[in-house]
Amino acid sequence: MQNIMSIFKREFKAFFLSPIAYIFITVYLIATTFLFFQGFFIMDQADMRGYFGILPWVFLFFVPAITMRSWAEEKKMKTLELLLTWPVKDFEVVVGKFLASFSLLVIVLLLSLTIPISIAIIGHPDVGQIIGQYIGSMLMGAAYVAIGLWVSSLTENQIVAFILGVVLTFVLFIIGHPFMTMVLPSAVVPLFTYIGLNSHFESIGRGVIDSRDIIYYLSVIGFFLFLNVCSISSRKWE
C-alpha cells in the first residue's frame, strides 16, 4: 500500500511538473463547455444530458492523452528497468499509475462542476440525476484510463500509445452500437451490445446507475489492469 502511494504521488505530480496537466485541463474545460452550451439554450432544458452525451467522445481523445506517457516514457528513458529492481511488486506500480491518471480525470470532472452550478442558478435541475451522471462518468473514465494505460505499456513511443489508445477505445465503444450490431447475426448481438462501452453509458447519461453497468465497468477496469500487469511481467517470460 505504501508503495502504491509513493508511485501514485510521483506519477500525479509528474502531470503538473510538465505542462501536460494544465493544457489538458484548459482544453478540456473550454471544449466541453463550449460544445455543451451551444445547444443548451436552444434546448431550454435545465439538465446536463447534452453534456454527458458528448462525454464518451471527448474522453476518447482526452484519456489516451493522459495515459500515453505513463509507461511509454519510462520504457524509453529506461527508468522502468531501475524501478523494477527496487523492492516493488509489478501490480503495485500498475495500480499506482492507474490511480494517478484516474485522479487527474476526476479533478477535471470536478472542475466542470461550474456547469451544473451555473444551471442551478438559472433553472431547477434534478440534482440527483446530475450526481448520478458524474459518478457514471468517473466509472467510464476509469475504464478508458485502464485501456489507455495498457496500450501505453506495449510501446515506448508516446504517439503510438496515443493513437492505439484512441483506436482501441473507439473499437470497444463502437462495437455495441446499433449500426455495428445491425450487420451481425442476431444471436451474437446481445453479447456485442454488452461488451461495447457505449450501451452502458446510455442509462448513465440519463442519470440512472444500474448495478449491471457498475459491474461492467469494474470488470473492464480489472481486465485491462490485469493485462497491464501481464505486459510488465512479460520480461520475465521466456
Partner 1 sequence: MSQTNDSVMLEVKDLNKKFGGMHAVKNLNFEVTKGEILGFLGPNGAGKTTTMRMITCYIPPTSGSIRVDGIDTKDDDLAVRTKIGYLPESTPLYNDMLVEEYLKFVGELRGLAGAKLKSRIDDMFNVCGLAKMAKRQIGKLSKGYRQRVGLAQALITDPPLLILDEPTSGLDPNQIIEIRQLIKNMGKEKTVIYCSHILSEVSATCNHILIINQGAIVASGTSDELTAKMGKENRYVLKVKAEKTLLETKLKALPGVIHVTVMPSGEWIDATIVAQDNQDIGEFIYKCVFENGWSLAELKRESASLEDVFTQLTRGQ
The residues binding partner 1 (CB under 8 A) are 2-3, 6-7, 9-10, 13-14, 17-18, 77-89, 235-236, 238
Q: How far is the CB of 44 from partner 1 (least distance, A)?
A: 47
Q: What secondary structure does DSSP assign to 73-85, as a single string?
A: HHHHHTHHHHHTT
Q: How far is the CB of 6 from partner 1 (least distance, A)?
A: 4
Q: How far is the CB of 137 from partner 1 (least distance, A)?
A: 29
Q: Which is nearer to partner 1, 130 or 232 (CB)?
A: 232
Run of H or E residues at 157: none
| Helix intervals (H) in the chain | 2-17, 20-43, 49-77, 79-83, 90-111, 114-122, 127-152, 158-174, 178-181, 189-195, 197-205, 211-233
Q: How far is the CB of 238 from partner 1 (least distance, A)?
A: 7
Q: How far is the CB of 10 from partner 1 (least distance, A)?
A: 5
Q: Is 155 left (phi over 0), alpha (psi -120 to 50) or beta?
A: beta
Q: Which is nearer to partner 1, 69 or 200 (CB)?
A: 69
HSE-up of residue 204 (Cα within 13 Å, Cβ side): 26
Q: Which is nearer to partner 1, 13 or 212 (CB)?
A: 13
Q: Which is nearer to partner 1, 27 or 77 (CB)?
A: 77
Name, in order, each residue with C-beta under 8 angstroms of 184's C-beta and a sequence gap of 6 or more: 192
Q: Which is nearer to partner 1, 89 or 212 (CB)?
A: 89
The alpha carbons of the chain give a radius of gyration, in whole angstroms, of: 19
